[in-house]
Every structure is written in structure tokens, then in C-alpha cells.
Amino acid sequence: MLSQRLVINSIFLLILISFKGLCDDLYKKPANIILSYIPHPQVQAYVDLIKSVYEDDLGIKVTLHSTPAHRGLIMLNSGVTDADVIRIGTNAATFDNLVVIEPQLEIGELLLVCRLDVTCSLDVLADPNIVVMSNIGNEMTLKELNIKANVLLHENIETVLEFMHKRQIVYGIYASTKDIRQTVQKDFNAIKLKDVGLNHVIHKKHSALIPELTSSIKKRLKDL
């Protein structure tokens, strides 16, 4: 009985491998893709990198499309776009049709940003009387903090700092990196809440491109 199960499992595995190989063989590399990205002060370097990966290394022309944070993932998951330049990998992995590409492009940070004239601590997130601006993606990533504050959602990441500069909000959660955090701290208090891995993301219909994408990104990251 055990040997029969092993034979059946082996046959099933061979069928799966053959089917995957057939799908890869049937995949036709597109001449053009729609590549989305989030408007953010630090994203341009990665837009340039990923655009070069597709156009120079894979021979695929790129049409760039700026999208708000969460909407961009929904559009990609629906197949409206083909790939996104850089996203929080764990967030993207929750979507059925998205594939997170390794290696990571960057280690990012989620910050609690506070105006200089108020107390800035984790206690802010535990107070239901305090309003904190964020977006759906950041809120998903920080769910283990069990935030009790009143979260005001806005999908344009840059709006957080814009509203704070205009003194329209007091607190915000902002996606950043170590270098950007130092800039933010010139105008505001900022506390790091969590490190996050940032990756390139594609729709699964382009899974056959994964080996080329991984190889190209590894090489180009060395020169970034």
C-alpha cells in the first residue's frame, strides 16, 4: 500500500512539473507592460532600476503609471497593470494573483510621525481620541500593534507629510527608509514602528519571467 502511494505521488508530481513546463513554454514575452509605482520622494531610483531591468535586460518596453498605494495593488491583482516597481512584500503576498520577486530592493521603515509641539510615543496609537493619518497597506502591516487610535485613511502617501506641514493633522504613519527618516526628523518627531521588506511585484500571469527578473535585479542592485 505504501509503495502504491509513493508511485501515485511520484506520478502526480511529474504531471505538475510537466504542466508547469508546458505553461512556461506557452508563455509569450510581452512587447510592452504597464508598470505602476507609488508617488514617493525615494521611489524614482527604483523606477529607473526596474524600468532598466525590463527594457534593457528583458527587452520589454515599459509604460509607467502612477497609482495611489492600495489602489495600485488592487489594479495589479486584477490584471489592469502588469507589475509594480516596489511594494511592502508581505502586503503584496496577501493578494491571490501577485508574485513577490526576490531579492528585496530595500529595507523600509514604517514611522509614527508627530508634530514637534506634541508628545510622540507609542501611547499615541493606543488612544482612541487621537486621529492618526495612514493608508490601508500600512494599517495591514501594523495590525499586530492593535492600534486603538482613530485612523484616517488616505491612499496618497505624501499627503501625510503635506497635511502635517500645513498643520492640518498632528500624527501620521509614514513609509520611509533610514535616509528619509533623517530628513523627516528635521521637521517632525518620528519613531520607527517596524522594518519592512520592499520588493518588486508582478502579476502571476508573468511568472515565467521570474528567473530573468531575479537575475537582472541582483546584478543591478549592486550598482544602485
Domain boundaries, the chain: 2-106+198-221, 108-196
Do 2-106+198-221 and 108-196 agree at the fold level? yes
Q: 110 near 142, Cβ under 8 Å?
A: yes
Question: What does the alpha-carbon distance between residue 88 and residue 64 come to, in Å, rounded to a whole number?
Answer: 19
Look at residue 25 in the predicted model and tell me its pLDDT: 61
Q: Which CATH superfamily is domain 108-196 in?
A: Periplasmic binding protein-like II (3.40.190.10)
What mean pLDDT value characterizes the chain? Answer: 89
**17-31, 100-114, 195-209: least confident range:** 17-31
**Cell triple for residue 167?**
498643520
Alpha carbon distance 118, 84 (integer Å):
37
Model confidence at 92: pLDDT above 80: yes
Phi/psi at 129 (5° precision): -90, -5
Mean pLDDT within 81-99: 96
The number of beta carbons lying within 10 Å of the beta carbon of residue 99 is 20
Please tell me the predicted confidence (pLDDT) of residue 4. Answer: 53
Whether the full predicted model's pTM is greater than 0.85, yes or no, is no
Measured over the CA atoms of residue 111, residue 117, residue 122 and residue 125, the dihedral's sign is: negative
Q: CATH assignment of 2-106+198-221, given 3.40.140.10, 1.10.10.10, 3.40.190.10, 3.50.50.60?
A: 3.40.190.10
Confidence of residue 7 (pLDDT cuts 50, 70, 90): very low
- Section 60-74 average pLDDT: 94
Q: State CA 201 to chain mean position distance.
A: 7
In one letter, which amino acid is 43? V
Q: Which residues pair with 133 in a beta bridge?
A: 152, 172
